[in-house]
Amino acid sequence: MKKNINKFISLSLFVFLVLSACNLGKAAPSATQAPVTEAAALPADTPTSAPTEAVIQHVLIPGDLPAEQSGLAGDHDSSTTADENRAPGGDRFTFGRYERPFNSEAMDVYYPYLDIQTTEFYLDDTWIYAVITLKGDESSQSLAGKYGFEIDLNVDGGGDWLIMAAQPSSTEWSTDGVQVWFDENDDVGGIVKVIADEVLPGGNGYETLIFGNGQEDDPDLAWVRVSPADSNTVQIVAKLSILEGDKTFMVGMWAGGEDFSPALFDVNDTLTHEQAGASLKELEFFYPIKELSELDNACRMAIGFQPSGNEPGLCPLPPGPPGEDPLPPSSCPPQYLFCYYDNYRNLVCVCRQP
Protein backbone atom coordinates (compact mmCIF):
# COMPACT_ATOMS: atom_id res chain seq x y z
CA MET A 1 0.00 0.00 0.00
CA LYS A 2 2.79 2.40 0.92
CA LYS A 3 4.48 1.49 -2.32
CA ASN A 4 1.33 2.42 -4.29
CA ILE A 5 1.06 5.74 -2.47
CA ASN A 6 4.66 6.54 -3.34
CA LYS A 7 3.95 5.72 -6.97
CA PHE A 8 0.89 7.98 -6.93
CA ILE A 9 2.88 10.84 -5.40
CA SER A 10 5.67 10.39 -7.94
CA LEU A 11 3.18 10.36 -10.83
CA SER A 12 1.39 13.48 -9.54
CA LEU A 13 4.71 15.28 -9.20
CA PHE A 14 5.65 14.31 -12.77
CA VAL A 15 2.34 15.62 -14.18
CA PHE A 16 2.76 18.86 -12.23
CA LEU A 17 6.25 19.39 -13.63
CA VAL A 18 5.10 18.70 -17.20
CA LEU A 19 2.19 21.16 -16.97
CA SER A 20 4.44 23.80 -15.47
CA ALA A 21 6.90 23.40 -18.32
CA CYS A 22 4.12 23.84 -20.92
CA ASN A 23 3.11 27.19 -19.42
CA LEU A 24 6.62 28.67 -19.37
CA GLY A 25 6.18 30.14 -22.90
CA LYS A 26 3.03 32.18 -22.17
CA ALA A 27 3.07 35.49 -20.36
CA ALA A 28 0.20 35.85 -18.00
CA PRO A 29 -1.68 39.14 -18.18
CA SER A 30 -0.55 41.47 -15.42
CA ALA A 31 -2.94 42.99 -12.98
CA THR A 32 -2.74 46.32 -14.71
CA GLN A 33 -3.10 44.99 -18.28
CA ALA A 34 -6.32 43.35 -19.39
CA PRO A 35 -6.14 40.49 -21.88
CA VAL A 36 -6.15 41.79 -25.48
CA THR A 37 -9.51 41.10 -27.08
CA GLU A 38 -11.15 42.39 -30.27
CA ALA A 39 -13.07 44.94 -28.25
CA ALA A 40 -9.99 46.08 -26.35
CA ALA A 41 -7.93 46.37 -29.55
CA LEU A 42 -10.44 48.79 -31.10
CA PRO A 43 -12.37 50.79 -28.48
CA ALA A 44 -15.82 51.87 -29.53
CA ASP A 45 -14.89 55.55 -29.43
CA THR A 46 -11.84 55.12 -31.71
CA PRO A 47 -12.57 56.60 -35.18
CA THR A 48 -11.87 54.40 -38.20
CA SER A 49 -10.28 55.83 -41.36
CA ALA A 50 -10.65 54.18 -44.78
CA PRO A 51 -8.13 54.93 -47.53
CA THR A 52 -9.23 57.99 -49.48
CA GLU A 53 -8.47 58.92 -53.06
CA ALA A 54 -6.43 62.03 -53.65
CA VAL A 55 -8.67 64.97 -54.50
CA ILE A 56 -7.76 66.50 -57.85
CA GLN A 57 -7.22 70.22 -57.56
CA HIS A 58 -8.34 71.93 -60.77
CA VAL A 59 -6.73 75.26 -61.52
CA LEU A 60 -8.17 76.15 -64.91
CA ILE A 61 -11.82 75.41 -65.81
CA PRO A 62 -13.45 76.41 -69.13
CA GLY A 63 -16.18 79.01 -69.24
CA ASP A 64 -18.63 79.93 -71.96
CA LEU A 65 -17.89 79.32 -75.62
CA PRO A 66 -16.38 82.18 -77.64
CA ALA A 67 -18.84 84.40 -79.44
CA GLU A 68 -17.52 83.63 -82.93
CA GLN A 69 -17.27 80.22 -84.55
CA SER A 70 -14.15 79.00 -86.30
CA GLY A 71 -15.94 76.17 -88.11
CA LEU A 72 -19.39 74.72 -88.73
CA ALA A 73 -20.48 71.48 -90.41
CA GLY A 74 -23.89 70.01 -91.07
CA ASP A 75 -24.63 66.30 -91.38
CA HIS A 76 -27.39 63.98 -92.58
CA ASP A 77 -30.47 63.38 -90.46
CA SER A 78 -31.12 59.63 -90.46
CA SER A 79 -34.37 60.00 -88.55
CA THR A 80 -36.04 60.94 -91.84
CA THR A 81 -35.53 57.42 -93.25
CA ALA A 82 -35.15 55.37 -90.07
CA ASP A 83 -38.57 53.75 -90.58
CA GLU A 84 -37.23 52.43 -93.89
CA ASN A 85 -34.22 50.83 -92.15
CA ARG A 86 -31.72 52.95 -94.05
CA ALA A 87 -29.77 56.20 -93.98
CA PRO A 88 -30.71 59.02 -96.36
CA GLY A 89 -27.11 59.43 -97.58
CA GLY A 90 -23.59 60.21 -96.43
CA ASP A 91 -22.41 56.64 -95.81
CA ARG A 92 -19.35 55.93 -97.96
CA PHE A 93 -17.10 53.44 -96.19
CA THR A 94 -14.35 53.64 -98.84
CA PHE A 95 -13.97 57.38 -98.29
CA GLY A 96 -14.22 57.35 -94.51
CA ARG A 97 -17.73 58.76 -94.26
CA TYR A 98 -20.18 57.07 -91.94
CA GLU A 99 -23.90 57.49 -91.39
CA ARG A 100 -24.75 54.47 -89.26
CA PRO A 101 -26.77 55.36 -86.16
CA PHE A 102 -28.45 51.94 -86.37
CA ASN A 103 -28.04 48.41 -85.06
CA SER A 104 -26.41 45.86 -87.36
CA GLU A 105 -28.10 43.57 -89.85
CA ALA A 106 -31.80 44.40 -89.40
CA MET A 107 -31.19 48.15 -88.96
CA ASP A 108 -34.53 48.31 -87.19
CA VAL A 109 -33.20 50.17 -84.14
CA TYR A 110 -32.32 53.82 -84.66
CA TYR A 111 -30.11 55.58 -82.08
CA PRO A 112 -30.89 59.31 -82.19
CA TYR A 113 -28.18 60.10 -79.63
CA LEU A 114 -25.61 58.88 -82.20
CA ASP A 115 -27.05 60.80 -85.16
CA ILE A 116 -24.94 63.95 -85.63
CA GLN A 117 -26.91 66.93 -86.89
CA THR A 118 -24.32 69.71 -86.74
CA THR A 119 -20.76 70.19 -85.51
CA GLU A 120 -19.14 73.46 -84.50
CA PHE A 121 -15.61 74.48 -83.64
CA TYR A 122 -14.37 77.43 -81.59
CA LEU A 123 -11.04 78.57 -80.22
CA ASP A 124 -9.67 81.30 -78.02
CA ASP A 125 -6.34 82.04 -76.34
CA THR A 126 -6.64 79.07 -73.95
CA TRP A 127 -9.03 76.44 -75.29
CA ILE A 128 -10.27 74.66 -78.39
CA TYR A 129 -13.96 73.75 -78.32
CA ALA A 130 -15.79 71.00 -80.22
CA VAL A 131 -19.58 71.11 -80.18
CA ILE A 132 -21.65 68.16 -81.41
CA THR A 133 -25.42 68.37 -81.66
CA LEU A 134 -27.24 65.04 -81.87
CA LYS A 135 -30.78 64.27 -82.94
CA GLY A 136 -31.38 63.31 -79.34
CA ASP A 137 -33.75 60.95 -77.62
CA GLU A 138 -36.83 62.96 -76.86
CA SER A 139 -38.00 60.47 -74.23
CA SER A 140 -34.86 60.31 -72.09
CA GLN A 141 -32.73 63.25 -73.26
CA SER A 142 -29.72 61.04 -72.59
CA LEU A 143 -26.41 61.22 -74.45
CA ALA A 144 -25.49 57.56 -73.96
CA GLY A 145 -22.73 57.30 -76.57
CA LYS A 146 -19.08 58.21 -76.97
CA TYR A 147 -18.31 61.54 -78.61
CA GLY A 148 -15.08 63.01 -79.87
CA PHE A 149 -13.10 65.03 -82.34
CA GLU A 150 -9.94 64.40 -84.36
CA ILE A 151 -7.30 66.98 -85.13
CA ASP A 152 -5.16 66.65 -88.26
CA LEU A 153 -2.30 69.08 -87.73
CA ASN A 154 -0.42 68.65 -91.01
CA VAL A 155 -3.56 68.32 -93.14
CA ASP A 156 -2.47 65.03 -94.69
CA GLY A 157 -5.60 63.10 -93.74
CA GLY A 158 -4.02 61.24 -90.83
CA GLY A 159 -5.29 62.39 -87.47
CA ASP A 160 -2.80 63.33 -84.77
CA TRP A 161 -5.02 63.91 -81.74
CA LEU A 162 -8.30 62.35 -80.61
CA ILE A 163 -10.26 63.83 -77.73
CA MET A 164 -13.14 61.63 -76.54
CA ALA A 165 -15.89 61.81 -73.89
CA ALA A 166 -18.13 58.95 -72.80
CA GLN A 167 -21.77 59.38 -71.76
CA PRO A 168 -21.70 63.02 -70.64
CA SER A 169 -24.55 63.85 -68.29
CA SER A 170 -23.78 67.07 -66.41
CA THR A 171 -24.23 70.64 -67.58
CA GLU A 172 -21.21 71.56 -65.43
CA TRP A 173 -17.71 71.18 -66.85
CA SER A 174 -16.22 67.84 -65.82
CA THR A 175 -13.19 65.70 -66.63
CA ASP A 176 -15.10 62.48 -65.91
CA GLY A 177 -15.03 60.11 -68.86
CA VAL A 178 -12.76 62.37 -70.93
CA GLN A 179 -9.68 60.98 -72.69
CA VAL A 180 -6.99 62.55 -74.85
CA TRP A 181 -5.17 60.23 -77.25
CA PHE A 182 -2.16 60.83 -79.48
CA ASP A 183 -0.94 58.84 -82.50
CA GLU A 184 2.73 58.62 -81.63
CA ASN A 185 3.69 56.08 -84.31
CA ASP A 186 1.81 57.96 -87.06
CA ASP A 187 -0.16 54.97 -88.35
CA VAL A 188 -3.67 56.46 -88.25
CA GLY A 189 -4.96 56.35 -91.80
CA GLY A 190 -2.77 53.48 -92.92
CA ILE A 191 -1.03 53.71 -96.29
CA VAL A 192 -3.56 55.97 -98.01
CA LYS A 193 -4.99 58.44 -95.51
CA VAL A 194 -8.80 58.54 -95.10
CA ILE A 195 -9.35 56.21 -98.08
CA ALA A 196 -9.73 52.50 -97.32
CA ASP A 197 -6.49 50.63 -98.05
CA GLU A 198 -6.64 47.64 -100.40
CA VAL A 199 -4.63 45.59 -97.91
CA LEU A 200 -5.50 46.13 -94.25
CA PRO A 201 -2.38 47.69 -92.68
CA GLY A 202 -2.98 46.36 -89.16
CA GLY A 203 -2.08 49.52 -87.25
CA ASN A 204 -3.02 50.32 -83.65
CA GLY A 205 -4.76 53.65 -84.17
CA TYR A 206 -4.45 56.19 -81.38
CA GLU A 207 -2.26 54.22 -79.03
CA THR A 208 -0.91 56.78 -76.54
CA LEU A 209 -3.22 57.92 -73.74
CA ILE A 210 -2.16 61.38 -72.61
CA PHE A 211 -5.12 62.19 -70.39
CA GLY A 212 -7.79 60.13 -68.67
CA ASN A 213 -5.94 57.49 -66.68
CA GLY A 214 -5.90 59.44 -63.43
CA GLN A 215 -2.14 59.99 -63.61
CA GLU A 216 -1.98 62.76 -66.18
CA ASP A 217 0.51 65.57 -65.76
CA ASP A 218 -2.13 68.24 -66.36
CA PRO A 219 -5.49 67.51 -64.66
CA ASP A 220 -7.08 70.42 -66.54
CA LEU A 221 -6.16 69.31 -70.06
CA ALA A 222 -9.64 68.36 -71.32
CA TRP A 223 -13.26 68.76 -70.23
CA VAL A 224 -16.81 67.91 -71.26
CA ARG A 225 -20.33 69.04 -70.48
CA VAL A 226 -23.84 68.82 -71.85
CA SER A 227 -24.81 72.22 -73.20
CA PRO A 228 -26.82 74.12 -70.58
CA ALA A 229 -28.97 75.44 -73.42
CA ASP A 230 -29.58 72.13 -75.28
CA SER A 231 -29.64 68.65 -73.75
CA ASN A 232 -28.90 67.12 -77.19
CA THR A 233 -25.58 68.96 -77.52
CA VAL A 234 -22.23 67.89 -76.08
CA GLN A 235 -19.35 70.33 -75.69
CA ILE A 236 -15.79 68.96 -75.48
CA VAL A 237 -12.85 71.20 -74.68
CA ALA A 238 -9.07 70.77 -74.70
CA LYS A 239 -6.23 73.16 -74.07
CA LEU A 240 -4.95 75.07 -77.07
CA SER A 241 -1.43 74.05 -76.07
CA ILE A 242 -1.84 70.57 -77.60
CA LEU A 243 -1.64 72.24 -81.03
CA GLU A 244 1.93 73.34 -80.22
CA GLY A 245 1.47 76.63 -82.01
CA ASP A 246 -0.14 75.31 -85.21
CA LYS A 247 -2.59 77.82 -86.67
CA THR A 248 -3.90 75.72 -89.56
CA PHE A 249 -5.37 72.25 -89.22
CA MET A 250 -8.46 70.15 -89.88
CA VAL A 251 -11.10 68.91 -87.44
CA GLY A 252 -13.51 65.99 -87.78
CA MET A 253 -16.13 64.93 -85.23
CA TRP A 254 -17.53 61.56 -84.23
CA ALA A 255 -20.28 59.78 -82.34
CA GLY A 256 -20.18 56.06 -81.57
CA GLY A 257 -21.54 53.29 -79.40
CA GLU A 258 -19.95 51.20 -76.70
CA ASP A 259 -17.44 49.55 -79.07
CA PHE A 260 -16.16 52.85 -80.48
CA SER A 261 -12.44 52.76 -79.68
CA PRO A 262 -9.34 54.92 -80.38
CA ALA A 263 -7.59 51.75 -81.58
CA LEU A 264 -10.00 51.48 -84.55
CA PHE A 265 -8.71 54.51 -86.46
CA ASP A 266 -8.95 54.73 -89.34
CA VAL A 267 -12.04 52.55 -89.15
CA ASN A 268 -11.98 51.57 -92.82
CA ASP A 269 -8.46 50.20 -92.38
CA THR A 270 -9.51 47.68 -89.75
CA LEU A 271 -12.04 45.66 -91.77
CA THR A 272 -13.23 45.29 -95.36
CA HIS A 273 -16.26 46.91 -96.94
CA GLU A 274 -17.92 43.51 -97.15
CA GLN A 275 -17.43 43.01 -93.41
CA ALA A 276 -18.59 46.54 -92.57
CA GLY A 277 -21.67 46.57 -94.78
CA ALA A 278 -23.49 49.79 -95.70
CA SER A 279 -26.51 51.77 -94.56
CA LEU A 280 -27.55 52.82 -98.09
CA LYS A 281 -29.85 50.50 -100.01
CA GLU A 282 -28.36 51.88 -103.21
CA LEU A 283 -25.18 50.00 -102.33
CA GLU A 284 -27.04 46.71 -102.60
CA PHE A 285 -23.90 44.57 -102.71
CA PHE A 286 -22.92 45.81 -99.22
CA TYR A 287 -26.30 46.67 -97.63
CA PRO A 288 -27.23 46.32 -94.78
CA ILE A 289 -24.87 47.33 -91.98
CA LYS A 290 -22.93 44.33 -90.73
CA GLU A 291 -19.92 44.52 -88.36
CA LEU A 292 -19.66 48.33 -88.34
CA SER A 293 -22.74 49.80 -86.70
CA GLU A 294 -23.67 52.55 -84.23
CA LEU A 295 -21.32 55.11 -85.78
CA ASP A 296 -21.60 58.57 -87.30
CA ASN A 297 -19.13 61.25 -88.30
CA ALA A 298 -19.15 64.65 -89.95
CA CYS A 299 -16.90 65.96 -92.70
CA ARG A 300 -13.71 67.68 -91.67
CA MET A 301 -13.56 71.42 -91.18
CA ALA A 302 -10.67 73.51 -92.43
CA ILE A 303 -9.50 75.77 -89.61
CA GLY A 304 -7.35 78.82 -90.30
CA PHE A 305 -6.84 78.26 -94.03
CA GLN A 306 -8.71 78.25 -97.30
CA PRO A 307 -9.01 74.65 -98.54
CA SER A 308 -8.28 73.76 -102.13
CA GLY A 309 -10.79 70.92 -102.15
CA ASN A 310 -8.15 68.21 -102.34
CA GLU A 311 -7.57 67.86 -98.60
CA PRO A 312 -8.25 64.27 -97.42
CA GLY A 313 -11.55 64.02 -95.58
CA LEU A 314 -12.76 67.41 -96.71
CA CYS A 315 -16.32 67.56 -97.99
CA PRO A 316 -16.84 68.30 -101.69
CA LEU A 317 -16.64 71.97 -102.57
CA PRO A 318 -19.90 73.54 -103.74
CA PRO A 319 -20.18 74.08 -107.48
CA GLY A 320 -20.01 77.69 -108.59
CA PRO A 321 -20.93 79.53 -111.79
CA PRO A 322 -18.70 78.63 -114.76
CA GLY A 323 -15.38 80.41 -114.55
CA GLU A 324 -15.93 81.62 -111.00
CA ASP A 325 -14.21 80.44 -107.86
CA PRO A 326 -16.82 79.32 -105.29
CA LEU A 327 -14.46 80.22 -102.46
CA PRO A 328 -13.42 83.69 -101.25
CA PRO A 329 -10.15 85.12 -102.60
CA SER A 330 -7.01 83.39 -101.36
CA SER A 331 -5.84 86.77 -100.12
CA CYS A 332 -8.21 86.46 -97.16
CA PRO A 333 -6.10 86.38 -93.97
CA PRO A 334 -6.52 83.01 -92.21
CA GLN A 335 -7.80 84.56 -88.99
CA TYR A 336 -10.79 86.00 -90.88
CA LEU A 337 -11.60 82.91 -92.96
CA PHE A 338 -14.71 81.00 -91.91
CA CYS A 339 -15.59 77.73 -93.65
CA TYR A 340 -18.60 75.57 -92.90
CA TYR A 341 -20.60 72.73 -94.40
CA ASP A 342 -24.29 72.76 -95.14
CA ASN A 343 -26.57 69.79 -94.47
CA TYR A 344 -25.61 68.30 -97.83
CA ARG A 345 -21.93 68.35 -96.84
CA ASN A 346 -21.09 71.10 -99.29
CA LEU A 347 -18.31 73.41 -98.18
CA VAL A 348 -18.97 77.15 -97.99
CA CYS A 349 -16.25 79.66 -97.11
CA VAL A 350 -16.63 83.36 -96.36
CA CYS A 351 -14.10 86.04 -95.50
CA ARG A 352 -14.88 87.97 -92.32
CA GLN A 353 -12.17 90.56 -92.76
CA PRO A 354 -13.40 93.95 -91.46
Residue 31 lies in a domain: no
113-123 pLDDT, tens digit each: 999 999 999 99
C-alpha span between 92 and 159 (Å, rounded): 19
Helix (H) or strand (E) holding 11: helix 2-22
Residue 18 lies in a domain: no
CA distances from 197 to 99, 111, 160, 250, 267 (A): 20, 29, 19, 21, 11
197-249 pLDDT, tens digit each: 999 988 899 999 999 977 688 999 999 999 999 999 999 999 999 999 999 99
C-alpha span between 143 and 345 (Å, rounded): 24
Parent domain of 259: 71-351
pLDDT at 81: 97
Ranking 62-76, 269-283, 325-339 by mean pLDDT, the lowest is 325-339
Q: Tell me how many domains the chain contains.
A: 1
Residue 218 lies in a domain: yes
Q: How many helices and strands, by DSSP H and E, does the chain display? A: 3, 15
Residue 19 lies in a domain: no
C-alpha span between 113 and 15 (Å, rounded): 85
156-193 pLDDT, tens digit each: 999 999 999 999 999 999 999 999 999 999 999 999 99
Residue 138 lies in a domain: yes
Helix (H) or strand (E) holding 239: strand 233-239
pLDDT at 2: 45
**What is the Cα Rg of the chain in Å?**
33
101-110 pLDDT, tens digit each: 999 999 999 9
pLDDT-derived band at 335, boundaries 50, 70, 90 = low
Contact 117, 77 (CB under 8 A): yes
Nearest to 129, CA basis, from 169, 156, 165: 165
On the question of pLDDT at 48 being above 70, the answer is no
**DSSP per residue, 260-289:** --GGG-SGGGSS-HHHHB-S-TTSTTT-SB
**DSSP per residue, 121-136:** EEE-SSEEEEEEEE--
On the question of pLDDT at 278 being above 90, the answer is yes
